[in-house]
């Protein structure tokens, strides 16, 4: 059986009430109206200018008036998420509650469905190689194998907010949300939708979090990525000989075409363009 990995840096927010589906669907980047128990959606709440304020995985439990949504979000951003959801609630029949004292997020790598009690469980929608994501009672038995999850995440090219991109400064395309099933381009209006749609249809993506391989020690997060004397981006998270960096795509393409060695903190980086680092 695969290890149950505790994700202690995640919080759990519950959205319930008669208007919960409409409320959440009209706010986030993905289609919530079609979400069913046993599935999860990768979503973000954006600023009106289209930049990511907080990203999260959404699960649904129950049906009809008992239907409720569980958001698996960064714990550091949970207070701000609760505040923003409360601000948008207005007169909607919706209850927004923190459940982080009771429940926690866990990951299980591998194909087989975990045989463990959970409030909600689904395949991670961002990548098949990330296995299962679940919400279970806090204190559930788990193994100290976070490094295995980080290695799988980085190999799949899945960025982590706050390390690989800055919340409040990055657009969904820059964080690869369009490549990781995090944006529904057919669902209609939501906050920031016009900017996201325009970026896609006008091909305005200038930067992306891009995987790389390194021979030797990977650069620390925040290290500048250089093509000769030209700065093309900044390094993010890494595991072993793999890492992620937010780079200017045009400068990366020019450097690769010219055979320019790409470096960060003295390490030579080999970027993997157009696919995950695995």
Q: What is the rounded average pLDDT of the residues 79-96?
A: 95
Interatomic CA distance for residues 247 and 82, integer angstroms: 32
| 4-7, strands of its sheet edge to edge | 4-7, 103-108, 132-137, 120-123
Is residue 11 within a helix (H) or strand (E), and if so which, with residue range? strand 10-16
Domain edges within the chain = 4-155, 206-271
Q: What is the rounded average pLDDT of the residues 129-139?
A: 95
Judge whether 3 and 108 are in contact, CB under 8 Å.
Answer: yes
User: What are the pLDDT digits (tens) for 166-204?
Assistant: 999 999 999 999 999 999 999 989 999 999 999 988 888
pTM attached to this predicted model: 0.94
Q: How far apart are the first and last CA of the chain?
A: 23
pLDDT score of 275 more than 50: no
pLDDT score of 145 more than 90: no
Domain 4-155, what fold?
Answer: Gyrase A; domain 2 (3.30.1360)
Where is pLDDT greater, at 143 or 274?
143
* Token digits of residue 34: 């079609």
Judge whether 42 and 89 are in contact, CB under 8 Å.
Answer: no
Alpha helices (runs of H) in 90-169, residue ranges in sequence order: 146-155
User: What are the pLDDT digits (tens) for 194-235?
Assistant: 999 999 888 889 999 999 999 989 999 999 999 999 999 999
CA angle 149, 151, 154 (to 5 degrees): 105
Q: Which residue has the tokens 């591998």?
A: 110
Q: Is 232 helix (H, G, I), strand (E, B) or coil?
A: strand
């Amino acid at each position: 059986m695969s290890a149950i990995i505790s994700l202690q840096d995640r919080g759990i927010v519950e959205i319930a009430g008669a208007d919960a589906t409409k409320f959440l669907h009209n706010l986030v980047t993905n289609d919530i109206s079609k979400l069913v128990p046993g599935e999860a959606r990768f979503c973000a709440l954006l600023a009106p200018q289209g930049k990511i304020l907080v990203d999260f995985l959404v699960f649904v439990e129950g049906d009809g008036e008992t239907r409720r949504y569980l958001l698996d979000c960064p714990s550091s951003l949970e207070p701000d998420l609760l505040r923003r959801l409360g601000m948008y609630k207005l007169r909607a029949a919706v209850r927004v509650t923190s459940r982080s004292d009771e429940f926690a997020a866990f990951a299980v790598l591998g194909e087989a469905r975990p045989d463990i009690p959970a409030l909600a469980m689904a395949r991670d929608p961002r990548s098949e190689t990330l296995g299962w994501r679940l919400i279970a009672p806090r204190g559930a038995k788990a193994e100290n194998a976070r490094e295995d999850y980080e290695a799988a995440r980085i190999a799949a090219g899945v960025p982590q907010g706050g390390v690989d991109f800055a919340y409040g400064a990055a657009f969904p395309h820059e964080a690869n949300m369009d490549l990781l099933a995090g944006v529904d381009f057919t669902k209609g209006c939501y906050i920031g939708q016009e900017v996201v749609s325009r970026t896609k249809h006008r091909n305005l993506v200038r930067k992306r979090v891009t995987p790389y391989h390194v021979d030797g020690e990977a650069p620390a997060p925040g290290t500048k990525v250089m093509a000769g004397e030209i700065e093309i981006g900044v390094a993010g998270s890494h595991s072993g000989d793999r890492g992620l960096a937010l780079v200017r795509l045009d400068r990366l393409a020019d450097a690769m075409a010219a055979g320019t060695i790409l470096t960060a903190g003295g390490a030579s980086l080999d970027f993997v363009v157009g696919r995950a680092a695995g």
